[in-house]
């Protein structure tokens, strides 16, 4: 059984999808703790499932590195075997990444390497993209640059807003994250920063 620490900043619908999946005895992962950088509404999903939560605020520390070290200590104490960033809207410090990568993954609402960063959906619309999607990837020391594990495409509809498109992406993102974690837990997908056979052609797809 793979134990997960999940990192969030917002509503936590991806976290909720993982919690719901983990409620099935056949799902090979369990969430042992949820960490947020702020009073994220999504923490309520963890509390409702009886999963311990902690808020570790960057403003309580003298530097980003010190914040990252405190977060790392909290995660180590849970014994989690995989750290899942599921809507954490902060760049993790290099020391934190070195401590956990490649057993540190992120979900991103675009087909990386296109549209990295905090405004991926807005950027795809601004670029006039006809297609975008979602990527689950290993976190490395760059911003959304780590090895791709899984991707799914989402067509952009004419005239749709950023929030409409993001919601449609999230409907694809949640099951993709659940499936990717399952595959990591079963060993169908191994995590290594240097195993290109586990990446997929990011874009365009055939
Ligand atoms: C997701 O689309 C994630 O990829 C992005 O922020 C969103 C978080 O959604 N970084 P939620 O909080 O899981 O609903």
In this structure, how many other beta carbons lie within 10 angstroms of the beta carbon of residue 98?
13
Residue 199 has pLDDT above 60, yes or no: no
Q: Atom of ligand 1 at shortest distance to CA of 16?
A: 13
User: Is the distance from CB of 128 to CB of 165 less than 8 angstroms?
Assistant: no
Taking each helix axis as running N to C, give the angle between helix 13-22 and helix 162-186, from 0 to 180 degrees, rounded to the nearest 10. 30
pTM of the complete model: 0.94
Q: How far apart are the CA of 26 and the centre of ligand 1, in A? A: 25
Residue 197 has pLDDT above 70, yes or no: no
Question: 171 phi and psi, to 5 degrees?
Answer: -65, -30
Instruction: Write out pLDDT tens, residues 70-122.
Output: 999 999 999 999 999 999 999 999 999 999 999 999 999 999 999 999 999 99
Q: Which protein residue has the closest C-alpha to ligand 1 atom 9?
A: 87
Confidence of residue 204 (pLDDT cuts 50, 70, 90): very low
Q: What is the mean pLDDT of residues 180-198?
A: 82
Report the distance separating Cα 148 and Cα 135, nearest Å: 7
CA dist 204 to 3, 19, 110, 111, 135, Å?
Answer: 34, 32, 12, 9, 13
Q: Which residues contact 115 (CB under 8 A, 6 or more apart)?
A: 121, 123, 124, 127, 129, 132
Q: What is the mean pLDDT of residues 7-20?
A: 98
Instruction: Write out pLDDT tens, residues 120-171.
Output: 999 999 999 999 999 999 999 999 999 999 999 999 999 999 999 999 999 9
List of domains in the chain:
1-100 (3.40.50.170), 106-206 (3.40.50.170)
Q: Atom of ligand 1 at shortest distance to CA of 11?
A: 12
Report the distance separating Cα 174 and Cα 63, nearest Å: 32
Task: State yes or no: cis peptide before 192, omega within 30 of 0.
Answer: no
| Enzyme catalytic residues | 108
Q: Which protein residue has the closest C-alpha to ligand 1 atom 12?
A: 12
Ligand 1: residues with CB < 6 A are 8, 10-15, 42, 86-87, 107-109, 170, 173
Confidence of residue 194 (pLDDT cuts 50, 70, 90): low
- Determine the pLDDT at residue 206: 36
Q: How far apart are the CA of 61 and the centre of ligand 1, in A? A: 25
- Closest to 35 measured CA to CA, from 14, 9, 13, 69: 9
């Amino acid at each position: 059984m793979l134990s997960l620490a999940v990192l969030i900043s917002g509503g936590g619908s991806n976290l909720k999808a993982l919690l719901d999946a983990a409620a099935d005895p056949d799902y090979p992962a369990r969430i042992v703790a949820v960490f947020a950088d702020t009073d994220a509404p999504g923490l309520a999903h963890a509390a409702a499932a009886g999963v311990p939560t902690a808020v570790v605020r960057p403003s309580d520390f003298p530097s980003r590195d010190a914040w990252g070290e405190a977060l790392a200590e909290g995660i180590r104490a849970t014994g989690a075997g995989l750290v899942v960033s599921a809507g954490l809207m902060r760049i993790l410090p290099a020391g934190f990444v070195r401590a956990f990568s490649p057993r540190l993954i992120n979900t991103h609402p675009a087909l990386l390497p296109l549209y990295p960063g905090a405004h991926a959906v807005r950027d795809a619309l601004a670029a006039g993209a006809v297609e975008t999607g979602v990527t689950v990837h290993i976190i490395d020391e760059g911003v959304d640059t780590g090895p791709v594990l899984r991707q799914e495409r989402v067509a952009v509809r004419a005239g749709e807003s950023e929030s409409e498109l993001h919601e449609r992406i999230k409907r694809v993102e949640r099951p993709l994250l659940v499936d990717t974690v399952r595959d990591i837990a079963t060993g169908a997908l191994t995590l290594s920063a240097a195993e290109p056979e586990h990446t997929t052609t990011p874009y365009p797809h055939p």
